[in-house]
Amino acid sequence: MLSRLAGLPSPTSLHPGDERRAGRWTSPSFSRRAQKGHKPSVITSQRSLGDLSSAIVAEIRNEIRKRARPENVARIKRFFKEEVEIRGLMSAQIKEVVKLAHPKVRGDLSLALEVAEDLVESGVLEEASVGIGLLQRMTRRFTPDLFDVFDGWVDQLTNWASTDGLAAGLISETVRLDLGRVERLLLWTASGNRWRRRAAAVSLVPLARRGEMLDEVFRIAERLMIDGDEMVQKGVGWLLKEASRRHPDEVREFLLRWRDRAPALVLRYASEKLPKGKRVLKTK
């Protein structure tokens, strides 16, 4: 049951730990920034972008209210240590709303960004899920400069679900388009914001799963291996676990070098996909 609770399935695999049991969530945060290179369509230009966006957002919120399941809220909240506003929709219901909303943005990325921003600023998890769902349908229109837009959104993140949705669902796409953006992710690892540090790791999860950018995975991980925040530890452990699918020997060697210093949680998560006899855990 919980695996079907609110949250649009992300392009990544299951989340680790409590996140995994809660279900798949995508709930990024957005900030208003002009999107260079993405001009409004003729239809959009007939009305102000803001007015059209507001109308679409109002329709989306109405659809979410109609599908609200208050009886699910308490169960979902158990998987968050932070305060998160939730309506209790099932994942299938989130998909329904995304499907209804997608034609309204008419393939206009600028409009979709405006809509998504308003939804996320509400602080309602399901609204953010719809916002990212719209953008995930438009990743073919992404350009590397969107990384700078997403960078500004990270400071608004308040929970692991939003962080993972933004990082694995959207930021990863911009990194794929311009691998040099990893240098920016490296800077994030020194941030005082726990969600920015987690995002630094999770942004490479889809790439790591495909066996790509192993050197960059290790560079990010090295800077987070002894992070004292549990949410960051889960993020870096998840990243290494995904990398181990294609590079088990290299990841195991990396973990062995860190076994004496890294938290047990990081080692446990990172070793999940390794053969039982080769998992690197804390020695008693």
Amino acid identity of residue 152, one-letter, is G
Report residue 65 CA to chain centroid gap.
Answer: 24
Structure-token pair, residue 158: 């308040």
> Which segments of 6-110 are extended strands (E)?
none
State in words which class domain 178-284 has.
Answer: mainly alpha
Round the average pLDDT of the chain to a whole number and report it.
85
In the Cβ-directed half-sphere of 13, how many Cα atoms lie within 13 Å? 17
CB 119 within 8 A of CB 166: no
- 27 pLDDT more than 50: no
Whether pTM > 0.85 for this model: the answer is: no
First to last CA, the chain: 37
- Of residues 89 and 22, the one with the higher pLDDT is 89
Amino acid identity of residue 195, one-letter, is W
Structure-token pair, residue 230: 């549990």
In sequence order, what are the residues at sequence separation of 6 or more whose Cβ sits closer than 8 angstroms to the Cβ of residue 28? 116, 120, 128, 131, 132, 150, 153, 157, 162, 163, 165, 166, 169, 170
Domain residue limits, the chain: 1-146, 178-284
H helix or E strand, kind and range, residue 232: helix 230-244
| Cross-strand partners of 85 | 124
CB 128 within 8 A of CB 165: yes
Alpha carbon distance 207, 273 (integer Å): 16
pLDDT in tens, 231-256: 999 999 999 999 999 999 999 999 99
**Residue 187 DSSP code:** H
pLDDT in tens, 143-163: 999 999 889 888 888 888 888
